[in-house]
Chains A and B, each alone.
Chain A
Amino acid sequence: MSATTADVRDAGRHFVTAGRDALVRVWHTPGAKLALIGFALFVLVALIGPWIALYGPFDRLRLANGELARSVPPSLEHPFGTTSYGRDVLSQVIWGTRRTLVVGFAGALVTVVIGVNIGLIAGFAGGRVDSLLMRITDSAYALPFLPFAIVLVGILGRSDMVLLLAIAALFWRTTARVVRAQVLSLKQRPFVRAAVVGGARPRRVLYRHIAPNVVSLAMLYGLFLVTEAVIAEASLSFLGLAPPDSISWGTIMFDAFTSTELNTTWWWAFFPGLAIMLFVLCMSLLGRAYESAQAHRWEARQP
Chain B
Amino acid sequence: MTNPVTAGLTTGTASAPDHVLDVRGLAVTYETADGVRQAVESLDLTVAPGHTVGLIGRSGSGKTTAGKAILGLLPRTATVSGAVQFGGHDLLAMPERQRRRLRWEHLALVPQAAMSSLDPVMAVDQQIAEVVRAHRDVSQRAALAMAHEALERVGIHADRTSSYPHQFSGGMRQRTLIAMATVLEPTVLVADEPTTGLDVIVQDRVLELLVRAKEDLGLALLVVTHDLGVANELCDHVIALDQGRVQAEGTPAQVLGRPHDAGVLAPRPAAEPESEPPPALEVSDLTVSFAGGRGLAALRRSNELTVLRDVSLMVRRGEVVGLAGESGCGKSSLAATLVGLTEVAGGAIRIAGHEVAGGDRAGWRPLRRHVQMIFQDPYDSLNPRLRVRDAVAEPLIAQHLAANDADRDRRVTEALENAGLTPASDYAGRYPHQLSGGERQRVAIARALVVEPEVLLADEPVSMLDEQTAAGVVALLADLARRLDVAVLLVSHDVSLLRRVCDRVAVMYLGRIVEQGPAGEVIDAPRHPYTDALVRAVPTRVPGQRRARVLLKGEPPSLRNRPAGCAFHPRCPHVLPACLEDDPALLDLGPGPGHDTACWHPMAERGIAEKGGARD
Contact = CB atoms under 8 A, between A and B. Distances in A.
Interface of A: 14, 189-191, 193-201, 204, 208-209, 212-213, 301, 303
A195 B383 contact: yes
- 4 smallest beta-carbon distances between A and B, as pairs: A199-B368, A198-B395, A190-B381, A200-B398
A190 B341 contact: no
Given A190-B376, A193-B375, A212 B385 contact: yes
29 contacts: A14-B385, A190-B377, A191-B382, A193-B336, A193-B375, A194-B375, A194-B381, A194-B382, A195-B394, A195-B398, A196-B341, A197-B339, A197-B341, A197-B368, A198-B368, A198-B372, A198-B394, A198-B398, A198-B399, A199-B395, A199-B399, A200-B394, A200-B395, A200-B398, A208-B394, A301-B384, A301-B433, A303-B379, A303-B437
B349 to A, nearest CB: 14
B298 to A, nearest CB: 13
A255 to B, nearest CB: 49
A303 B451 CA distance: 29
A229 B182 CA distance: 56
Nearest to B457: A197
A193 B341 CA distance: 8
A30 to B, nearest CB: 15
A148 to B, nearest CB: 33
Given A209-B383, A213-B383, A197 B372 contact: yes
Nearest to B392: A198
Contacts of A191: 380-384
B136 interface: no
Contact of B373 (A194, A200, A208, A303): A194
B447 interface: yes
B157 interface: no
A50 to B, nearest CB: 41
Interface in B376-414: 376-377, 379-385, 394-395, 398-399
B365 interface: yes
A14 B369 CA distance: 29
Contact of A197 (B373, B377, B384): B373
A62 B455 CA distance: 87
Interface in B109-165: none
Nearest to A6: B397
A199 B373 contact: no
B444 interface: yes
Given A198-B368, A200-B398, A189 B341 contact: no
A129 to B, nearest CB: 16
B288 to A, nearest CB: 16
Contacts of A200: 394-395, 398
B341 A213 contact: no
Contacts of A197: 339-341, 368, 372-373
Interface in B419-443: 433, 437
A190 B369 CA distance: 19
Contacts of B394: 195, 198, 200, 208
A203 B112 CA distance: 39
B380 A189 contact: yes
Contacts of A195: 383, 394, 398
Interface string B332-343: 000010011100
Interface in B443-463: 444, 447, 451
B113 to A, nearest CB: 11
A302 to B, nearest CB: 9
Give the most central of A193, A196, A199: most B CB within 10 Å: A199
Residue of B369, B398, B447 with most chain A CB atoms under a 10 A cut-off: B398
A105 B361 CA distance: 41
B26 to A, nearest CB: 23
A203 to B, nearest CB: 11
